[in-house]
Amino acid sequence: MVRRVTAMLITAVMLCMFGGCSFLYSVAPPPANTDTAPDHTTYLHEFRDRRCYRVLPAHLQSLYGALYTAVKTCDADTVFSIRGEDGNEREYTGVKVALPSPLTKAEDARTLFYAFTTDNPAFFFVGNTYSYEGYRVDGVDYYDTFCLTFLMDTAARRIAEQELETAVATLLSALPEGADEYTVERHLHDALAARVTYDRDVAEGDVSASTRPHTFSAYGALVNGQAVCEGYARAMQLLLQRAAIPCTLVSGTADDTAHMWNMVEIDGRSYHLDATWDDAQDKLQHTFFNLTTEEIARTHTIGEENLGVDTCTATEANFYRLQGWQLDTYDRSLIAEAVAKQVASGAETVELRFTADTFATAQLFIANNRRLRQYTDPFLQGESLWDYTYQVNEDYHTVTLYKEI
Residue 28 pLDDT: 52
Residue 85 pLDDT: 78
pLDDT average per 10 residues of sequence, the chain (405 residues): 46 30 41 74 96 97 98 93 86 96 95 98 96 91 96 96 98 97 98 96 87 94 97 98 98 95 98 96 93 98 95 98 97 98 96 98 96 97 94 97 93
Residue 31 pLDDT: 62
Contacts of 22-29 spanning 24+ positions with Cβ under 8 A = 24/135, 25/1, 26/1, 26/2, 26/137, 28/2, 28/137, 29/2, 29/102, 29/135, 29/137, 29/142
Residue 2 pLDDT: 41
Residue 332 pLDDT: 98
Residue 363 pLDDT: 97
Alpha carbon distance 74, 271 (integer Å): 35
Residue 210 pLDDT: 84
Q: Report the predicted TM-score, pTM, of the whole model to 2 decimal places.
A: 0.91
Give the distance from CA 146 to its chain's centroid: 24
Alpha carbon distance 154, 162 (integer Å): 12
